[in-house]
Chain A
């Protein structure tokens, strides 16, 4: 099927909804829409950030995942205790592939799992004593940690433990930053509230301590906010900013440190990549410390050029020249990538379903390769994310919020995209259906995808997946009509 008209897309949505009971269909209908660029406010066509329907297969995570996994997890020189039963931390351990430099277990701890491993007796008698003991143990075994965060799992909120009190006492005793985070999994409707809670805990427990600390400022201090260094993303972004003459004083939070977070209120400009997970703290710093923030997009050369110029706008001529220089320098590099891969990928259609920023940010990178995104959606977006998405997507393309497993499969069967980008839970279903798939949360064990260096890898990966000869083997030879077989790139 080639492009669909708005009517066809709407019919498709209706058809998919038919199997639901009436009430459920009515509810789900609000989360699905055919894009219309003429709409200026997403709230008119799509509902988001609502509780998932009981009984459907949602792809969302919990608030604990948003705080421990996304925001706090990558802060490498702090130890994050998964406070509660062992599973929440263990099954998500190191899954996000936040790269960092350091010696794990000595001065950095990102891929390790620290947990209070709650047992029945801790639920019955409370876990505060155990928490205190763990903090002491950590101090003894890992003295080079810069601080500790307590990431609450569901039971903590249910039994009413006072993790704030424990953190306060222990912070004084050991003279370190200890952050209690009330990110119990049952709070809110998705991981999104976990981001917010984590942002607030930085505001309340990290910033007050850093006030008055000495810092040597330059007029070119910026920070990278909302880049989790998945497969090295923040690094391939950082070098571009540095090459144009800026000084990156903090990375939030991929490969980030506590000291960097403390320095952030001294920046001249906060650069926000993932709006969803860190807009809260950026807004706070704007109000409290007068630091402006701006969103940028480092996926694909077109968007990178746009972003570099937009960032340079905020500074003097030296930086503006720097931006042009960087753009010139990398042009031959990415042009070669486009020349090589575009002919192999031209016209292919992609469906996405990811998290915070990728469902809209990555569209440009696909378009640079001549591909088209025909459906996109977020697990946990809010209206402001969809406001930002409508303009990026073509008219009449599908937009789905908190899509259910069933809906996603049906959409795919009908839209027949050439490639799907989503998470690990979706991967094998679609691969078994014979559709090329990329895991777009952790870049399918690849990356980085940000910046010019990342684009080269992105293009290669997409080609590798789409034109992989294995897809021809899905249909057995006796059912095959013609015999066009894909070939790998040189």
Chain B
């Protein structure tokens, strides 16, 4: 259950950053991404997947959230 910091990169993409693992990857897909809910299974550019119960409304980035491995 890593603590993940999500932030927007300069070109507007969502970055997934885990300090303890030096993992900094772009988010390629989010299962649920509407104005009133955000979450589900999330896929990163290196192919790994993480899960978070959908949060509503969509959180403001940057923010820190807890993810599970999917």
Contacts and interface: CB of A to CB of B under 8 A. Distances in A.
Interface of A: 41, 48-49, 196, 280, 283, 286-287, 294, 382-384, 387
The 4 nearest A-B residue pairs measured at CB: A382-B22, A383-B22, A287-B62, A286-B62
A384 B22 contact: yes
Interface residues of B, number: 12
A168 to B, nearest CB: 26
B42 to A, nearest CB: 18
Contacts of A48: 22
Given A49-B22, A196-B19, A383-B22, 4 more contacts: A283-B19, A286-B62, A294-B10, A384-B24
Given A294-B10, A384-B24, A287 B19 contact: no
B7 A41 contact: no
Contacts of B62: 283, 286-287
Interface string B24-57: 1000000000000000000000100000000000
8 contacts: A41-B46, A48-B22, A196-B19, A283-B5, A283-B7, A283-B17, A283-B19, A287-B5
Contacts of A387: 24
B64 interface: yes
A48 B23 CA distance: 12
A196 B22 CA distance: 12
B64 A287 contact: yes
A49 B24 CA distance: 15
A280 B22 CA distance: 11
A286 B19 CA distance: 15
B63 A280 contact: no
Contacts of B64: 287
B22 A287 contact: no
Nearest to A314: B10
Nearest to A310: B10
B31 to A, nearest CB: 23
Nearest to A385: B22
Nearest to A285: B62
Nearest to B64: A287
B58 to A, nearest CB: 16
A387 B22 CA distance: 10
A387 B23 CA distance: 11
A388 to B, nearest CB: 10
A306 to B, nearest CB: 14
A381 to B, nearest CB: 9
Interface in B1-17: 5, 7, 10, 17
Contacts of B5: 283, 287
A90 B33 CA distance: 56
A359 B23 CA distance: 21
- Among B17, B62, B63, chain A packs the most CB atoms within 10 A around the CB of B62
B7 A286 contact: yes
Contacts of B23: 383
A48 B7 CA distance: 24
A481 B2 CA distance: 64
B61 to A, nearest CB: 9
Nearest to A287: B62
Nearest to B25: A41
Contacts of B7: 283, 286-287
A48 B24 CA distance: 15
A294 B24 CA distance: 15
A133 B67 CA distance: 46
A147 to B, nearest CB: 27
A196 to B, nearest CB: 8
Nearest to A42: B22
A383 B5 CA distance: 17
B24 A280 contact: no
A41 B64 CA distance: 23
A280 B19 contact: yes
Contacts of A280: 19
Contacts of A49: 22
A200 to B, nearest CB: 10
A41 B44 CA distance: 13
A202 to B, nearest CB: 15
Contacts of B24: 384, 387
Nearest to A382: B22
A354 B24 CA distance: 23
A380 to B, nearest CB: 12
B63 to A, nearest CB: 6
Contacts of A382: 22
